[in-house]
Amino acid sequence: MDVTDKVALVTSGGSGINLSFVKLLVARHCRVVIADLSLHKTAEAWLASLSLTDRSLVHFHRTDVTSWPDLKSALNACREHFSRSVDLVVLGAGVYEPSSNSFWADLDDESSSRYKVLDINLVHPIKLSRLAIASFIADRKPGTIIHLSSIAGQRSTIVTPLYTASKHGINAFVRGMAPLGQLFGIRVLAVAPRTVATPLFHDHPEANRYLDTKKDFLLPPEEVANDMLALFEDATTYKSGTILEVCDVERRWRVVDLLNDPGPSGPASFTSRKADAVDDLVRMLDPEGLDRNGNRASSVVTD
């Protein structure tokens, strides 16, 4: 399936992995609605560099993905701006579990009644998937939905339990939607990378705290974007329900099996300083340094 002349909606297309994918789409003359709160400076620079013809292929629609009306508005923007309904929906918006509004820090924030990590990473892609499916069926056309999962959906950790739960949820949802391919020609898929060199690490050096920059490998966002393009274009290989792991370069990708899967592999599938994250968590939970079991936190196994 060729993306040329198709219409795509990409949440969080203003930076990182999703911006790299938007660039691939535009290079292939695909029309794109970027649904994001704002454009990163790299996105603004890229748009400014485009010819008038290519620039006309991109429309920015300000979107808060935690708002269901905003999600519906973003989907409608495809038809309103390009006079055609959407062909491809990419659920790219996601956040890592922050130090605030996280599972471990929520007792200090009584002003919020929701976990933003789950609203962004799990609820938004599920809701927008439902809207997209309704659009595809109403228009009697095939469609593709690509979720941004993670190898965290194959693992577990005490450090970021909400983030991990959200990615396990995405994997289960994608697999559950697999029959849509046979029933309606709608493919629901997911790409599952690990650590990617996104603006998070450039703009916020503190995000590197649990990385060893001399040992750990950060995936180029372009590699993940290539993976996403392959998911869309190669419908024969990547059936609905596919979760495609990307932890290596040069298209060394791996389909994740539901049962008896060997687990993530590749240079980007691990980081070297996970024990430091557990130590920091223990200090946050027990600032007086009490160690009830007499064990070092760093001895705790975490994925």
Which residue, chain included where needed, has tokens 């040992």? 215
Q: What is the domain partition of the chain in residue ranges?
A: 7-272, 275-303
Supply the pTM of this predicted model: 0.92
Q: What is the pLDDT of residues 159-184, one digit of tens each?
A: 899 999 999 999 999 999 999 999 99
**pLDDT at residue 58, rounded to an integer:** 99
Contact of 30 with 225, CB cutoff 8 Å: no
Contact of 273 with 210, CB cutoff 8 Å: yes
If phi > 0 it is left, if psi is from -120 to 50 it is alpha, else beta; for residue 294 that is: left
Q: Which residues of the chain have pLDDT under 70?
A: 99-100, 106-111, 200-208, 290-303
Instruction: Identify the CATH class of 7-272.
Output: alpha beta
Q: What is the pLDDT of residues 47-77, one digit of tens each?
A: 999 999 999 999 999 999 999 999 999 999 9
In which element (H, E) is residue 189 found? Answer: strand 186-193
By three-state DSSP, how is residue 88 classified?
A: strand
